[in-house]
Chain A
Amino acid sequence: MSHQFKSKIMPWLFLMPTLIVLVLFLYYPMYATVETSLHQTAFMGARRLYVGFENFQRLLSSRSFWHSFRISMFFSFLVVGLTMPIAFLLSILANQKIKGGKYFRTAMIWPYALSPAIAGTIWLFIFNPTIGILNFVLGELFGIRPDWVSSRQFAFIMVTLTAVWKQLGYNIVFFLAGLQNVPGQMLEAATIDGANPIQKYVKIVIPIMSPTIFFLFTMNLIYAFFTTFGMINVMTQGGPIDATNILIYNLYRDAFQYDNLGMGAAQSLILFGIVTILMIVQFKLGGRRVHYGQ
Protein backbone atom coordinates (compact mmCIF):
# COMPACT_ATOMS: atom_id res chain seq x y z
CA MET A 1 0.00 0.00 0.00
CA SER A 2 1.35 3.40 -0.92
CA HIS A 3 1.82 6.17 1.60
CA GLN A 4 -0.10 8.57 -0.61
CA PHE A 5 -3.80 9.30 -0.51
CA LYS A 6 -5.83 8.89 -3.66
CA SER A 7 -8.11 11.69 -4.76
CA LYS A 8 -8.34 14.00 -7.73
CA ILE A 9 -9.99 16.86 -5.87
CA MET A 10 -8.41 16.85 -2.41
CA PRO A 11 -4.90 18.03 -3.41
CA TRP A 12 -6.43 20.98 -5.24
CA LEU A 13 -8.62 21.84 -2.27
CA PHE A 14 -5.51 21.80 -0.08
CA LEU A 15 -3.59 23.97 -2.54
CA MET A 16 -6.38 26.35 -3.49
CA PRO A 17 -6.02 29.02 -0.76
CA THR A 18 -2.26 29.25 -1.30
CA LEU A 19 -2.61 29.48 -5.06
CA ILE A 20 -5.34 32.12 -4.86
CA VAL A 21 -3.22 34.35 -2.62
CA LEU A 22 -0.12 33.87 -4.78
CA VAL A 23 -1.96 34.63 -8.02
CA LEU A 24 -3.91 37.58 -6.70
CA PHE A 25 -1.20 39.30 -4.65
CA LEU A 26 2.08 38.11 -6.18
CA TYR A 27 1.74 36.98 -9.80
CA TYR A 28 -0.90 39.45 -10.88
CA PRO A 29 0.89 42.50 -9.35
CA MET A 30 4.11 41.26 -10.95
CA TYR A 31 2.38 41.23 -14.32
CA ALA A 32 0.80 44.61 -13.60
CA THR A 33 4.24 45.99 -12.76
CA VAL A 34 5.37 45.20 -16.29
CA GLU A 35 2.19 46.81 -17.63
CA THR A 36 2.54 49.95 -15.51
CA SER A 37 6.19 50.33 -16.44
CA LEU A 38 5.12 50.74 -20.08
CA HIS A 39 2.69 53.52 -19.26
CA GLN A 40 2.80 57.03 -18.05
CA THR A 41 0.19 58.21 -15.59
CA ALA A 42 -1.05 61.73 -15.29
CA PHE A 43 -3.60 63.57 -13.16
CA MET A 44 -3.28 61.27 -10.14
CA GLY A 45 -3.67 58.16 -12.25
CA ALA A 46 -6.79 59.40 -14.04
CA ARG A 47 -5.11 59.17 -17.42
CA ARG A 48 -2.76 56.47 -18.66
CA LEU A 49 -0.67 56.72 -21.79
CA TYR A 50 1.17 53.85 -23.42
CA VAL A 51 4.78 55.01 -23.79
CA GLY A 52 6.66 51.79 -24.53
CA PHE A 53 10.12 51.75 -23.00
CA GLU A 54 10.23 55.49 -22.41
CA ASN A 55 10.23 55.11 -18.63
CA PHE A 56 13.28 52.84 -18.85
CA GLN A 57 15.02 55.18 -21.27
CA ARG A 58 14.39 58.13 -19.00
CA LEU A 59 15.70 56.19 -16.02
CA LEU A 60 18.81 54.92 -17.76
CA SER A 61 19.68 58.41 -18.96
CA SER A 62 19.00 60.02 -15.59
CA ARG A 63 22.02 60.92 -13.50
CA SER A 64 20.12 60.66 -10.25
CA PHE A 65 19.07 57.10 -11.07
CA TRP A 66 22.65 56.05 -11.76
CA HIS A 67 23.77 57.76 -8.60
CA SER A 68 21.16 55.78 -6.68
CA PHE A 69 22.22 52.61 -8.51
CA ARG A 70 25.88 53.06 -7.58
CA ILE A 71 25.02 53.90 -3.97
CA SER A 72 22.81 50.83 -3.79
CA MET A 73 25.41 48.46 -5.22
CA PHE A 74 28.16 49.85 -3.00
CA PHE A 75 25.91 49.68 0.06
CA SER A 76 24.84 46.07 -0.66
CA PHE A 77 28.43 45.06 -1.38
CA LEU A 78 29.56 46.49 1.95
CA VAL A 79 26.65 45.05 3.93
CA VAL A 80 27.09 41.53 2.53
CA GLY A 81 30.90 41.71 2.53
CA LEU A 82 31.17 42.92 6.12
CA THR A 83 28.29 41.02 7.70
CA MET A 84 29.16 37.53 6.52
CA PRO A 85 32.85 37.24 7.55
CA ILE A 86 32.23 38.96 10.90
CA ALA A 87 29.18 36.81 11.62
CA PHE A 88 31.10 33.67 10.61
CA LEU A 89 33.94 34.44 13.02
CA LEU A 90 31.45 35.27 15.78
CA SER A 91 29.57 32.02 15.28
CA ILE A 92 32.80 30.02 15.45
CA LEU A 93 33.39 31.73 18.80
CA ALA A 94 29.82 31.14 19.93
CA ASN A 95 30.08 27.49 18.92
CA GLN A 96 33.02 26.81 21.30
CA LYS A 97 32.22 24.48 24.14
CA ILE A 98 32.61 26.79 27.10
CA LYS A 99 30.73 27.47 30.30
CA GLY A 100 27.71 29.69 29.80
CA GLY A 101 27.94 29.23 26.03
CA LYS A 102 24.16 29.27 25.80
CA TYR A 103 24.01 32.78 27.28
CA PHE A 104 26.75 34.05 25.01
CA ARG A 105 24.88 32.68 22.02
CA THR A 106 21.67 34.36 23.12
CA ALA A 107 23.49 37.67 23.61
CA MET A 108 24.79 37.42 20.04
CA ILE A 109 21.64 36.44 18.16
CA TRP A 110 18.99 38.64 19.78
CA PRO A 111 19.10 41.30 16.99
CA TYR A 112 17.39 38.71 14.79
CA ALA A 113 14.12 39.97 16.30
CA LEU A 114 15.05 43.63 15.93
CA SER A 115 13.48 45.63 13.11
CA PRO A 116 15.56 47.91 10.86
CA ALA A 117 13.47 50.89 11.97
CA ILE A 118 14.12 50.25 15.67
CA ALA A 119 17.82 49.58 15.03
CA GLY A 120 17.86 52.88 13.14
CA THR A 121 16.24 54.70 16.07
CA ILE A 122 18.71 53.35 18.64
CA TRP A 123 21.78 53.99 16.48
CA LEU A 124 20.62 57.45 15.47
CA PHE A 125 20.81 58.31 19.16
CA ILE A 126 24.25 56.71 19.53
CA PHE A 127 25.54 58.47 16.40
CA ASN A 128 24.06 61.85 17.38
CA PRO A 129 26.88 64.31 16.65
CA THR A 130 26.42 66.44 19.77
CA ILE A 131 25.00 64.20 22.50
CA GLY A 132 25.74 60.72 21.11
CA ILE A 133 27.89 58.41 23.18
CA LEU A 134 29.96 57.47 20.12
CA ASN A 135 31.21 61.00 19.47
CA PHE A 136 31.89 61.40 23.17
CA VAL A 137 34.16 58.34 23.07
CA LEU A 138 35.76 59.32 19.75
CA GLY A 139 36.28 62.86 20.99
CA GLU A 140 37.90 61.80 24.27
CA LEU A 141 40.10 59.13 22.67
CA PHE A 142 41.06 60.61 19.32
CA GLY A 143 39.83 64.19 19.42
CA ILE A 144 37.49 63.68 16.45
CA ARG A 145 33.76 64.32 16.34
CA PRO A 146 32.46 63.34 12.89
CA ASP A 147 29.19 64.90 11.77
CA TRP A 148 27.25 61.69 11.15
CA VAL A 149 24.04 63.50 10.27
CA SER A 150 24.92 66.19 7.74
CA SER A 151 28.11 64.89 6.14
CA ARG A 152 27.37 62.73 3.11
CA GLN A 153 30.24 60.32 3.67
CA PHE A 154 29.68 59.92 7.39
CA ALA A 155 25.91 59.49 6.96
CA PHE A 156 26.58 56.70 4.48
CA ILE A 157 29.02 55.07 6.89
CA MET A 158 26.50 55.42 9.73
CA VAL A 159 23.74 53.68 7.79
CA THR A 160 26.10 50.95 6.57
CA LEU A 161 27.40 50.19 10.06
CA THR A 162 23.89 50.11 11.49
CA ALA A 163 22.74 47.80 8.69
CA VAL A 164 25.67 45.43 9.26
CA TRP A 165 25.25 45.43 13.03
CA LYS A 166 21.54 44.67 12.79
CA GLN A 167 22.07 41.78 10.36
CA LEU A 168 24.80 40.02 12.39
CA GLY A 169 22.29 38.22 14.62
CA TYR A 170 20.41 36.77 11.66
CA ASN A 171 23.62 35.46 10.10
CA ILE A 172 24.91 34.01 13.36
CA VAL A 173 21.65 32.07 13.84
CA PHE A 174 22.06 30.29 10.51
CA PHE A 175 25.83 29.89 10.73
CA LEU A 176 25.39 28.23 14.14
CA ALA A 177 22.78 25.85 12.70
CA GLY A 178 25.20 25.09 9.84
CA LEU A 179 28.18 24.55 12.14
CA GLN A 180 26.21 21.94 14.05
CA ASN A 181 25.99 19.89 10.85
CA VAL A 182 29.78 19.63 10.53
CA PRO A 183 30.74 16.09 11.59
CA GLY A 184 33.10 16.13 14.57
CA GLN A 185 35.02 13.04 13.38
CA MET A 186 36.03 14.82 10.20
CA LEU A 187 37.65 17.62 12.18
CA GLU A 188 39.36 15.13 14.50
CA ALA A 189 40.73 13.22 11.53
CA ALA A 190 42.08 16.47 10.10
CA THR A 191 43.72 17.30 13.43
CA ILE A 192 45.42 13.89 13.48
CA ASP A 193 46.64 14.54 9.94
CA GLY A 194 48.24 17.71 11.24
CA ALA A 195 45.87 20.36 9.88
CA ASN A 196 45.98 23.69 11.70
CA PRO A 197 42.71 25.41 12.73
CA ILE A 198 42.71 27.77 9.73
CA GLN A 199 43.22 24.89 7.29
CA LYS A 200 40.40 23.00 9.00
CA TYR A 201 37.98 25.86 8.49
CA VAL A 202 38.98 26.67 4.93
CA LYS A 203 39.23 23.08 3.68
CA ILE A 204 36.48 21.35 5.65
CA VAL A 205 34.02 23.61 7.44
CA ILE A 206 33.43 26.20 4.72
CA PRO A 207 32.78 23.65 1.94
CA ILE A 208 30.38 21.69 4.16
CA MET A 209 28.60 24.91 5.06
CA SER A 210 28.37 26.24 1.53
CA PRO A 211 24.56 25.74 1.32
CA THR A 212 24.20 27.93 4.44
CA ILE A 213 26.66 30.46 3.04
CA PHE A 214 24.74 30.78 -0.23
CA PHE A 215 21.39 30.95 1.51
CA LEU A 216 22.70 33.78 3.70
CA PHE A 217 24.27 35.55 0.74
CA THR A 218 20.85 35.72 -0.91
CA MET A 219 19.03 36.77 2.25
CA ASN A 220 21.62 39.48 3.02
CA LEU A 221 21.32 40.81 -0.47
CA ILE A 222 17.53 41.06 -0.23
CA TYR A 223 17.98 42.68 3.17
CA ALA A 224 20.43 45.28 1.84
CA PHE A 225 18.30 46.03 -1.21
CA PHE A 226 14.84 46.15 0.35
CA THR A 227 14.52 45.61 4.09
CA THR A 228 16.85 48.46 5.04
CA PHE A 229 14.16 50.89 3.81
CA GLY A 230 12.81 51.38 7.36
CA MET A 231 16.28 52.06 8.72
CA ILE A 232 17.01 54.66 6.06
CA ASN A 233 13.60 56.26 6.47
CA VAL A 234 14.26 56.75 10.18
CA MET A 235 17.95 57.71 9.98
CA THR A 236 18.49 59.85 6.89
CA GLN A 237 15.41 59.81 4.59
CA GLY A 238 17.81 59.11 1.75
CA GLY A 239 19.90 62.19 2.47
CA PRO A 240 21.94 64.20 3.03
CA ILE A 241 21.86 65.24 -0.64
CA ASP A 242 20.92 61.70 -1.73
CA ALA A 243 23.98 60.15 -0.06
CA THR A 244 21.91 57.22 1.24
CA ASN A 245 19.27 57.23 -1.49
CA ILE A 246 19.44 53.53 -2.39
CA LEU A 247 17.25 52.17 -5.20
CA ILE A 248 14.29 51.18 -3.04
CA TYR A 249 14.24 54.67 -1.54
CA ASN A 250 14.44 56.28 -4.97
CA LEU A 251 11.57 54.05 -6.11
CA TYR A 252 9.47 55.10 -3.13
CA ARG A 253 10.11 58.77 -3.86
CA ASP A 254 9.34 58.54 -7.57
CA ALA A 255 6.24 56.39 -7.24
CA PHE A 256 4.64 57.66 -4.06
CA GLN A 257 6.01 61.13 -3.38
CA TYR A 258 6.10 62.39 -6.97
CA ASP A 259 3.19 60.14 -8.07
CA ASN A 260 5.12 58.85 -11.05
CA LEU A 261 3.83 55.29 -11.09
CA GLY A 262 5.37 54.34 -14.43
CA MET A 263 8.84 55.31 -13.26
CA GLY A 264 8.25 53.49 -9.98
CA ALA A 265 7.19 50.30 -11.76
CA ALA A 266 10.17 50.52 -14.13
CA GLN A 267 12.48 50.71 -11.11
CA SER A 268 10.69 47.77 -9.53
CA LEU A 269 11.49 45.72 -12.61
CA ILE A 270 15.11 46.80 -12.60
CA LEU A 271 15.35 45.74 -8.96
CA PHE A 272 13.67 42.45 -9.85
CA GLY A 273 16.21 41.98 -12.64
CA ILE A 274 19.20 42.70 -10.41
CA VAL A 275 18.03 40.36 -7.68
CA THR A 276 17.22 37.59 -10.17
CA ILE A 277 20.61 37.87 -11.90
CA LEU A 278 22.51 37.89 -8.63
CA MET A 279 20.58 34.84 -7.44
CA ILE A 280 21.26 32.93 -10.66
CA VAL A 281 24.97 33.78 -10.52
CA GLN A 282 24.99 32.75 -6.90
CA PHE A 283 23.33 29.39 -7.68
CA LYS A 284 25.75 28.70 -10.53
CA LEU A 285 28.85 29.52 -8.48
CA GLY A 286 27.35 27.88 -5.42
CA GLY A 287 26.60 24.64 -7.22
CA ARG A 288 30.18 24.30 -8.39
CA ARG A 289 31.73 24.89 -5.03
CA VAL A 290 29.40 22.51 -3.24
CA HIS A 291 30.56 19.70 -5.52
CA TYR A 292 34.17 20.68 -5.15
CA GLY A 293 33.73 20.50 -1.40
CA GLN A 294 32.37 16.98 -1.55
Chain B
Amino acid sequence: MANNIAKVWEDLTSNKYRRRKALQKIIIHVLIVLAVLVLMIPLLWAIIASTQTPGQIYQYPPRLLPGRAFVRNFSIAWSRYNVGRGMLNSFIIAGIVSVVKIILALTSAMALVYYEFPIKPWIFFFILLTLLMPVPVRIVPLFDIVNDLGWANSYWALTVPFFASATGTFLFRQHFMSIPTSIAEAARVDGIGPVRFLLQILTPMSKNTIGAFVVITFVYVWNQYLWPMLIITTRSRQVVQLSMQQLTTSGPEQIVDWGVAMAGALTALIPPLIIFFLLQEQFMKGFALSDEK
Protein backbone atom coordinates (compact mmCIF):
# COMPACT_ATOMS: atom_id res chain seq x y z
CA MET B 1 0.00 0.00 0.00
CA ALA B 2 2.68 2.49 1.08
CA ASN B 3 4.75 1.40 -1.90
CA ASN B 4 1.87 2.08 -4.24
CA ILE B 5 1.29 5.52 -2.85
CA ALA B 6 4.99 6.32 -3.11
CA LYS B 7 4.97 5.20 -6.73
CA VAL B 8 1.92 7.25 -7.58
CA TRP B 9 3.50 10.26 -5.89
CA GLU B 10 6.69 9.79 -7.89
CA ASP B 11 4.67 9.62 -11.11
CA LEU B 12 2.71 12.70 -10.19
CA THR B 13 5.86 14.75 -9.68
CA SER B 14 7.65 13.51 -12.79
CA ASN B 15 7.02 14.20 -16.49
CA LYS B 16 3.72 15.16 -18.08
CA TYR B 17 2.81 11.75 -19.55
CA ARG B 18 3.39 9.85 -16.33
CA ARG B 19 1.56 12.55 -14.43
CA ARG B 20 -1.50 12.08 -16.62
CA LYS B 21 -1.39 8.30 -16.17
CA ALA B 22 -1.14 8.63 -12.41
CA LEU B 23 -4.01 11.10 -12.27
CA GLN B 24 -6.12 8.75 -14.36
CA LYS B 25 -5.38 5.94 -11.94
CA ILE B 26 -6.39 8.02 -8.94
CA ILE B 27 -9.64 9.09 -10.58
CA ILE B 28 -10.48 5.49 -11.49
CA HIS B 29 -9.82 4.36 -7.93
CA VAL B 30 -11.94 7.11 -6.42
CA LEU B 31 -14.81 6.34 -8.81
CA ILE B 32 -14.63 2.61 -8.09
CA VAL B 33 -14.66 3.18 -4.35
CA LEU B 34 -17.68 5.49 -4.74
CA ALA B 35 -19.52 2.92 -6.86
CA VAL B 36 -18.80 0.14 -4.40
CA LEU B 37 -20.01 2.32 -1.53
CA VAL B 38 -23.31 3.06 -3.28
CA LEU B 39 -23.87 -0.64 -3.88
CA MET B 40 -22.64 -1.85 -0.49
CA ILE B 41 -23.83 0.75 2.03
CA PRO B 42 -27.47 -0.41 2.09
CA LEU B 43 -26.30 -3.94 2.87
CA LEU B 44 -23.88 -2.80 5.57
CA TRP B 45 -26.53 -0.56 7.07
CA ALA B 46 -28.98 -3.47 7.14
CA ILE B 47 -26.35 -5.63 8.88
CA ILE B 48 -25.78 -2.97 11.55
CA ALA B 49 -29.49 -2.42 12.11
CA SER B 50 -30.06 -6.16 12.43
CA THR B 51 -28.02 -6.09 15.64
CA GLN B 52 -29.78 -3.13 17.24
CA THR B 53 -32.64 -3.00 19.71
CA PRO B 54 -35.77 -1.00 18.80
CA GLY B 55 -34.57 1.69 21.22
CA GLN B 56 -31.25 2.00 19.41
CA ILE B 57 -32.94 2.12 16.00
CA TYR B 58 -35.31 4.91 17.02
CA GLN B 59 -32.41 6.86 18.53
CA TYR B 60 -31.55 10.31 17.14
CA PRO B 61 -29.04 10.88 15.59
CA PRO B 62 -28.91 7.34 14.15
CA ARG B 63 -26.49 5.03 15.89
CA LEU B 64 -23.82 3.79 13.47
CA LEU B 65 -22.40 1.12 15.78
CA PRO B 66 -23.74 -2.43 16.09
CA GLY B 67 -25.88 -3.23 19.09
CA ARG B 68 -26.29 -6.45 21.04
CA ALA B 69 -29.72 -7.56 19.84
CA PHE B 70 -28.37 -9.79 17.07
CA VAL B 71 -29.67 -13.03 18.59
CA ARG B 72 -32.97 -11.46 19.66
CA ASN B 73 -33.69 -10.02 16.19
CA PHE B 74 -32.79 -13.16 14.28
CA SER B 75 -34.73 -15.45 16.57
CA ILE B 76 -37.85 -13.27 16.43
CA ALA B 77 -37.65 -13.10 12.63
CA TRP B 78 -37.03 -16.83 12.48
CA SER B 79 -40.01 -17.87 14.61
CA ARG B 80 -42.61 -15.11 14.66
CA TYR B 81 -42.35 -14.10 11.01
CA ASN B 82 -42.08 -17.58 9.50
CA VAL B 83 -38.54 -16.99 8.24
CA GLY B 84 -37.28 -20.35 9.50
CA ARG B 85 -40.03 -22.43 7.96
CA GLY B 86 -40.04 -20.21 4.86
CA MET B 87 -36.32 -20.82 4.35
CA LEU B 88 -36.88 -24.57 4.41
CA ASN B 89 -39.75 -24.33 1.91
CA SER B 90 -37.75 -22.07 -0.40
CA PHE B 91 -34.78 -24.44 -0.19
CA ILE B 92 -36.85 -27.46 -1.14
CA ILE B 93 -38.57 -25.86 -4.13
CA ALA B 94 -35.47 -24.04 -5.45
CA GLY B 95 -33.48 -27.28 -5.14
CA ILE B 96 -36.07 -29.46 -6.88
CA VAL B 97 -36.66 -26.98 -9.71
CA SER B 98 -32.92 -26.47 -10.31
CA VAL B 99 -32.22 -30.21 -10.60
CA VAL B 100 -35.21 -31.11 -12.77
CA LYS B 101 -34.82 -28.05 -14.98
CA ILE B 102 -31.21 -28.95 -15.76
CA ILE B 103 -32.17 -32.51 -16.68
CA LEU B 104 -34.94 -31.31 -19.01
CA ALA B 105 -32.71 -28.65 -20.55
CA LEU B 106 -29.97 -31.22 -21.20
CA THR B 107 -32.30 -33.78 -22.77
CA SER B 108 -34.22 -31.30 -24.93
CA ALA B 109 -30.99 -29.73 -26.20
CA MET B 110 -29.63 -33.23 -26.87
CA ALA B 111 -32.64 -33.94 -29.10
CA LEU B 112 -32.23 -30.65 -30.95
CA VAL B 113 -28.50 -30.97 -31.62
CA TYR B 114 -27.74 -34.69 -31.92
CA TYR B 115 -30.81 -35.87 -33.82
CA GLU B 116 -32.40 -35.05 -37.13
CA PHE B 117 -36.19 -35.20 -37.36
CA PRO B 118 -38.95 -33.52 -39.32
CA ILE B 119 -40.28 -30.17 -38.02
CA LYS B 120 -37.16 -29.73 -35.84
CA PRO B 121 -36.90 -25.96 -36.55
CA TRP B 122 -40.56 -25.61 -35.63
CA ILE B 123 -40.07 -27.41 -32.34
CA PHE B 124 -37.18 -25.11 -31.50
CA PHE B 125 -39.29 -22.09 -32.41
CA PHE B 126 -42.18 -23.49 -30.34
CA ILE B 127 -39.87 -23.67 -27.32
CA LEU B 128 -38.31 -20.23 -27.91
CA LEU B 129 -41.69 -18.55 -28.27
CA THR B 130 -42.42 -19.24 -24.59
CA LEU B 131 -39.93 -16.44 -23.82
CA LEU B 132 -42.87 -14.12 -24.43
CA MET B 133 -44.98 -15.80 -21.74
CA PRO B 134 -43.69 -14.90 -18.28
CA VAL B 135 -45.91 -15.94 -15.38
CA PRO B 136 -47.86 -12.64 -15.11
CA VAL B 137 -49.28 -12.82 -18.64
CA ARG B 138 -50.87 -16.21 -17.96
CA ILE B 139 -51.41 -16.00 -14.22
CA VAL B 140 -55.21 -15.96 -14.12
CA PRO B 141 -55.72 -19.31 -15.90
CA LEU B 142 -52.58 -20.80 -14.37
CA PHE B 143 -54.15 -20.22 -10.99
CA ASP B 144 -57.29 -22.12 -12.11
CA ILE B 145 -55.37 -24.96 -13.76
CA VAL B 146 -53.20 -25.59 -10.72
CA ASN B 147 -56.29 -25.44 -8.52
CA ASP B 148 -58.10 -27.95 -10.77
CA LEU B 149 -55.14 -30.30 -10.53
CA GLY B 150 -55.59 -30.16 -6.76
CA TRP B 151 -52.12 -28.66 -6.36
CA ALA B 152 -53.08 -25.42 -4.65
CA ASN B 153 -51.16 -24.86 -1.46
CA SER B 154 -48.54 -27.51 -2.23
CA TYR B 155 -44.94 -27.86 -3.41
CA TRP B 156 -46.35 -29.18 -6.70
CA ALA B 157 -47.73 -25.75 -7.52
CA LEU B 158 -44.38 -24.10 -6.85
CA THR B 159 -42.26 -26.61 -8.77
CA VAL B 160 -43.86 -28.46 -11.72
CA PRO B 161 -44.95 -25.40 -13.79
CA PHE B 162 -41.30 -24.23 -13.72
CA PHE B 163 -39.63 -27.47 -14.81
CA ALA B 164 -39.10 -26.38 -18.43
CA SER B 165 -37.99 -23.12 -19.97
CA ALA B 166 -36.82 -21.68 -23.25
CA THR B 167 -33.73 -20.25 -21.57
CA GLY B 168 -32.46 -23.66 -20.49
CA THR B 169 -32.97 -25.37 -23.83
CA PHE B 170 -31.46 -22.39 -25.63
CA LEU B 171 -28.36 -22.17 -23.42
CA PHE B 172 -27.56 -25.87 -23.67
CA ARG B 173 -28.30 -26.00 -27.39
CA GLN B 174 -25.84 -23.16 -27.97
CA HIS B 175 -23.27 -24.91 -25.84
CA PHE B 176 -23.69 -28.32 -27.54
CA MET B 177 -23.34 -26.66 -30.94
CA SER B 178 -19.96 -25.26 -29.87
CA ILE B 179 -18.64 -28.76 -29.04
CA PRO B 180 -16.61 -30.17 -31.98
CA THR B 181 -18.62 -32.77 -33.92
CA SER B 182 -15.59 -35.08 -33.94
CA ILE B 183 -16.30 -35.93 -30.30
CA ALA B 184 -19.75 -37.24 -31.09
CA GLU B 185 -18.41 -39.05 -34.16
CA ALA B 186 -15.74 -40.78 -32.08
CA ALA B 187 -18.35 -41.77 -29.51
CA ARG B 188 -20.52 -43.30 -32.21
CA VAL B 189 -17.57 -45.21 -33.69
CA ASP B 190 -16.93 -46.62 -30.21
CA GLY B 191 -20.54 -47.74 -30.09
CA ILE B 192 -21.55 -45.42 -27.25
CA GLY B 193 -25.34 -45.03 -27.10
CA PRO B 194 -27.15 -41.70 -26.77
CA VAL B 195 -27.92 -42.00 -23.06
CA ARG B 196 -24.34 -42.86 -22.14
CA PHE B 197 -23.13 -40.09 -24.47
CA LEU B 198 -25.32 -37.57 -22.68
CA LEU B 199 -24.41 -38.72 -19.18
CA GLN B 200 -20.71 -39.49 -19.55
CA ILE B 201 -19.54 -37.13 -22.27
CA LEU B 202 -21.89 -34.17 -22.72
CA THR B 203 -22.73 -33.53 -19.08
CA PRO B 204 -19.10 -33.37 -17.87
CA MET B 205 -18.32 -31.07 -20.81
CA SER B 206 -21.15 -28.73 -19.80
CA LYS B 207 -19.95 -27.80 -16.31
CA ASN B 208 -19.87 -24.06 -16.95
CA THR B 209 -23.28 -24.01 -18.61
CA ILE B 210 -24.74 -26.11 -15.80
CA GLY B 211 -23.18 -23.79 -13.21
CA ALA B 212 -24.54 -20.72 -14.97
CA PHE B 213 -27.97 -22.28 -15.27
CA VAL B 214 -28.08 -23.34 -11.61
CA VAL B 215 -27.40 -19.72 -10.63
CA ILE B 216 -30.13 -18.35 -12.90
CA THR B 217 -32.69 -20.95 -11.83
CA PHE B 218 -31.96 -20.98 -8.12
CA VAL B 219 -32.02 -17.19 -7.88
CA TYR B 220 -35.19 -17.00 -9.98
CA VAL B 221 -37.11 -19.59 -7.98
CA TRP B 222 -35.85 -18.38 -4.61
CA ASN B 223 -36.89 -14.80 -5.41
CA GLN B 224 -40.35 -15.54 -6.80
CA TYR B 225 -43.07 -13.53 -5.11
CA LEU B 226 -46.39 -13.08 -6.92
CA TRP B 227 -47.06 -16.74 -7.73
CA PRO B 228 -46.45 -18.15 -4.22
CA MET B 229 -48.37 -15.20 -2.79
CA LEU B 230 -51.45 -16.29 -4.75
CA ILE B 231 -51.27 -20.07 -4.73
CA ILE B 232 -50.00 -20.74 -1.18
CA THR B 233 -52.45 -19.89 1.56
CA THR B 234 -51.08 -21.89 4.49
CA ARG B 235 -48.37 -20.07 6.39
CA SER B 236 -46.30 -23.18 7.09
CA ARG B 237 -46.00 -23.87 3.36
CA GLN B 238 -45.18 -20.32 2.31
CA VAL B 239 -41.79 -19.35 0.88
CA VAL B 240 -39.47 -16.97 2.71
CA GLN B 241 -39.95 -14.00 0.34
CA LEU B 242 -43.50 -13.55 1.58
CA SER B 243 -42.22 -12.98 5.11
CA MET B 244 -40.94 -9.59 3.90
CA GLN B 245 -44.39 -8.09 3.76
CA GLN B 246 -45.21 -9.18 7.32
CA LEU B 247 -41.84 -7.99 8.56
CA THR B 248 -42.43 -4.47 7.26
CA THR B 249 -46.06 -4.05 8.26
CA SER B 250 -47.12 -5.93 11.36
CA GLY B 251 -45.09 -5.24 14.44
CA PRO B 252 -46.56 -5.18 17.92
CA GLU B 253 -48.62 -1.96 18.28
CA GLN B 254 -48.21 -1.45 14.52
CA ILE B 255 -44.67 -0.19 14.98
CA VAL B 256 -42.28 -1.93 12.62
CA ASP B 257 -39.44 -3.65 14.46
CA TRP B 258 -36.77 -2.69 11.91
CA GLY B 259 -34.01 -4.70 13.57
CA VAL B 260 -36.10 -7.83 13.14
CA ALA B 261 -37.07 -6.83 9.60
CA MET B 262 -33.41 -6.41 8.61
CA ALA B 263 -32.52 -9.71 10.28
CA GLY B 264 -35.24 -11.48 8.28
CA ALA B 265 -34.23 -9.81 5.02
CA LEU B 266 -30.56 -10.71 5.51
CA THR B 267 -31.37 -14.33 6.36
CA ALA B 268 -33.43 -14.72 3.20
CA LEU B 269 -30.64 -13.17 1.14
CA ILE B 270 -27.92 -15.58 2.25
CA PRO B 271 -28.74 -18.79 0.27
CA PRO B 272 -28.96 -17.27 -3.24
CA LEU B 273 -25.89 -15.15 -2.44
CA ILE B 274 -23.92 -18.28 -1.49
CA ILE B 275 -24.99 -20.08 -4.68
CA PHE B 276 -24.07 -17.02 -6.72
CA PHE B 277 -20.59 -16.69 -5.24
CA LEU B 278 -19.83 -20.42 -5.28
CA LEU B 279 -20.69 -20.63 -8.98
CA GLN B 280 -19.63 -17.13 -9.99
CA GLU B 281 -16.77 -18.33 -12.20
CA GLN B 282 -18.85 -20.92 -14.06
CA PHE B 283 -21.61 -18.34 -14.34
CA MET B 284 -19.38 -15.80 -16.06
CA LYS B 285 -17.72 -18.43 -18.28
CA GLY B 286 -21.02 -20.04 -19.17
CA PHE B 287 -22.22 -16.74 -20.57
CA ALA B 288 -19.00 -15.64 -22.20
CA LEU B 289 -19.11 -18.89 -24.19
CA SER B 290 -22.71 -18.59 -25.27
CA ASP B 291 -22.07 -15.00 -26.34
CA GLU B 292 -19.50 -16.04 -28.91
CA LYS B 293 -21.73 -18.12 -31.11
Contact = CB atoms under 8 A, between A and B. Distances in A.
B104 A110 contact: no
Contacts of B130: 22, 26-27
A21 interface: yes
Given A29-B138, A115-B241, 15 more contacts: A15-B123, A17-B108, A25-B142, A26-B138, A36-B140, A108-B35, A110-B43, A115-B223, A121-B264, A125-B262, A169-B39, A255-B140, A271-B137, A275-B134, A276-B132
Interface in A208-230: 211-212, 222, 225-226, 229-230
18 contacts: A1-B189, A3-B183, A3-B188, A11-B115, A17-B164, A25-B161, A32-B144, A36-B140, A115-B268, A116-B225, A117-B245, A125-B258, A125-B262, A169-B39, A226-B135, A234-B245, A251-B136, A265-B141
A288 interface: no
Interface of B: 4, 25, 28-29, 31-32, 35-36, 38-40, 42-43, 45-46, 49, 57-58, 60-62, 104-105, 107-108, 110-112, 114-117, 120, 123, 126-127, 130, 132-145, 160-161, 163-164, 169, 181-185, 188-189, 194, 197, 219, 222-223, 225-226, 229-230, 241-242, 244-245, 247-248, 258, 261-262, 264-265, 268-269, 272-273, 275-277, 280, 283-284, 287-288, 291-292
B226 A230 contact: yes
Nearest to B147: A45
B104 A21 contact: yes
B141 A21 contact: no
Contacts of B112: 11, 15
Contacts of B189: 1
For this complex, into which size category does the number of interface residues on chain A fall?
35 or more
Nearest to B120: A11
B164 A11 contact: no
Contacts of B223: 114-117, 230
A94 interface: yes
A106 B222 CA distance: 21
Contacts of A248: 136, 226
Listed from nearest, the 7 A-B pairs whose CB atoms lie closest are A230-B225, A32-B141, A115-B223, A3-B184, A29-B138, A11-B115, A14-B111
